[in-house]
Amino acid sequence: MKHEYKETLLYVENLSVAYDNTVIIKDITLIEKDVVREGVHCTGQVIAFVGRSGRGKSTFFKALTGLVPTNSGKILIRDFENKEPNAAKSVKEGDIGFVDQKYTLFRHKTVTEALKFSLRKTDLSATEKDEKIKRYLKEWGLENCADKYPNELSGGQRQRTAIIEQLFSSDQFIVLDEPFSGLDVGNIEEVKKSFELLSNSSDFNTVIFSTHDIELAIELAQTIYVIGYPTINGKKEHYGTIVAKYDLRDMGMAWKEYCDDHQKLAKEIIHQMMIS
Amino acid sequence: MKAIFWVAFFYINMIKYFTPFEKISKFQKTIILISWLVLLIVIWFATTAGEKHLFPSPGQVLKGFTELYKEGLVVHIFNSLQLCFISIFLATIISLLFAYTWPIPVLKSIAEFITKFRFLPFTGLSFYITMVIHEARTMQVWILVIFLTTFLTTSLIAVIKDIPQEEFDHAKMLKCNRWEVLWQVIILGRLDYVIDVIRQNLAITWMMLVTVESIVVASGGLGFLIKNSDKFMNTGRIIALQIIILLIGLGLDAGINFLRKAIFRYSKI
This model of the complex carries an ipTM of: 0.87
Residues in chain B, total: 269
**Domain end (from A169, A202, A224):** A169
Q: Are residues A188 and A79 in the same domain?
A: yes
Q: Which of B165, B174, B186 to mutate to test the interface with A (most CBs of A within 10 A)?
A: B174
Residue A25 lies in a domain: yes
Facing A118 at nearest CB: one of B169, B174, B266: B174
Looking at the domain assignment, is residue A32 inside a domain? yes
Residue A113 has pLDDT above 90, yes or no: yes
Phi, psi of A65 (to 5 degrees): -90, 0
Tens digits of residue pLDDT in B180-237: 999 999 999 999 999 999 988 888 888 888 888 877 776 778 888 887 776 667 788 8
- What are B86-114's pLDDT values in tens digits? 999 999 999 999 999 999 999 999 999 99
Tens-place pLDDT, residues A44-100: 899 999 999 999 999 999 999 999 999 999 999 999 888 887 889 999 888 999 999
Do the domain assignments include residue A73? Answer: yes
Range of the domain at A238: 3-95+170-275
pLDDT band at A118 (very low <50, low <70, confident <90, very high): very high
For residue A70, the model assigns a pLDDT of 94
Q: How far apart are CA A30 and CA A87, in angstroms?
A: 17
Q: What is the mean pLDDT of residues A9-38?
A: 92
Residue A100 lies in a domain: no
Average pLDDT, chain A: 91
Chain B residues touching A97 at Cβ < 8 A: 173
Alpha-helical segments (H) within chain B = 2-15, 26-47, 58-70, 73-101, 105-116, 122-132, 136-161, 165-173, 178-181, 191-215, 222-231, 235-263
Mean pLDDT of B3-20: 82
Q: Has residue A177 been placed in a domain?
A: yes
In this complex, is the C-beta atom of A200 within 8 Å of any C-beta atom belonging to chain B? no
Domain boundary among A169, A191, A210: A169
Domain positions in chain B are 62-263
Alpha carbon distances (Å) from A52 to A58, A101, A250, A274, B210: 11, 17, 25, 8, 60
pLDDT (mean) for B116-132: 77
A217 and A230 belong to one structural domain: yes
Instruction: Tell which of A134, A169, A204 closes a domain.
Output: A169
Q: Amino acid identity, residue A175? A: V
Question: pLDDT value at position B267?
Answer: 83
Residue B1: pLDDT over 80:
no
Interface residues on B facing A, Cβ-Cβ cutoff 8 A:
164, 166-167, 169-176, 184-185, 188-189, 191-192, 264-266, 268
What pLDDT does A184 receive?
80
CB–CB of A26/A239 below 8 Å? Answer: yes
A87 and A199 part of one domain: yes
Superfamily of domain B62-263: MetI-like (1.10.3720.10)
The count of domains in chain A is 2
Global confidence as pTM: 0.83
Model pLDDT, residue A181: 81
Q: In this predicted structure, what is the pLDDT of residue A1?
A: 64
Query: Rounded to the nearest 10 degrees, what angle do helices A126-139 and A155-169 cross at?
Result: 140
Domain co-membership, A191 together with A64? yes
* Three-state DSSP string of B216-242: CCCCCCHHHHHHHHHHCCCHHHHHHHH
Evaluated on CA atoms A66, B174, B181, B92, the torsion sign reads: negative
* The predicted structure's pLDDT at residue A73: 94
What does the pLDDT look like over B48-88, one tens digit per residue?
887 777 788 889 899 988 988 998 889 989 988 999 999 99
A 93-152 → B contacts, CB under 8 A? 93-94, 97-98, 100, 102, 104-108, 117-118, 121, 149-152
Say whether both A110 and A82 belong to one domain: no
In this structure, the answer to whether residues A73 and A124 fall within a common structural domain is: no
Contact between chains at B170 and A104 (C-beta distance less than 8 A)? yes
Q: Read off the amino acid at residue B54.
A: L
Q: What is the CATH number of the domain that holds A90?
A: 3.40.50.300
Share of chain A above pLDDT 90, in %: 63
- On whether both A219 and A261 belong to a single domain, the answer is yes
Task: Flag if B173 and A170 touch (Cβ within 8 Å).
Answer: yes
Looking at this protein, which amino acid is placed at residue A142? Answer: L
Three-class secondary structure of residue B92 per DSSP:
helix
pLDDT digits (tens, 9 = 90+) for A185-241: 887 888 888 888 888 888 889 999 999 999 999 999 999 999 999 998 888 899 999
- Checking if the pLDDT of A256 tops 90, the result is no
- Answer yes or no: do A9 and A44 share one domain: yes
Query: Are A96 and A174 within 8 A, CB to CB?
Result: yes
User: Tell me: the pLDDT tens digits for B17-35?
Assistant: 888 998 889 999 999 999 9
Both A128 and A236 in a single domain? Answer: no
Q: A131 and A194 share a domain?
A: no
A231 inside domain: yes
Q: Are residues A112 and A177 in the same domain?
A: no
Residue A246 pLDDT exceeds 90: yes
- CB B175 to CB A121 under 8 A? yes
Q: Do A109 and A135 share a domain, yes or no?
A: yes
SS3 A225: strand
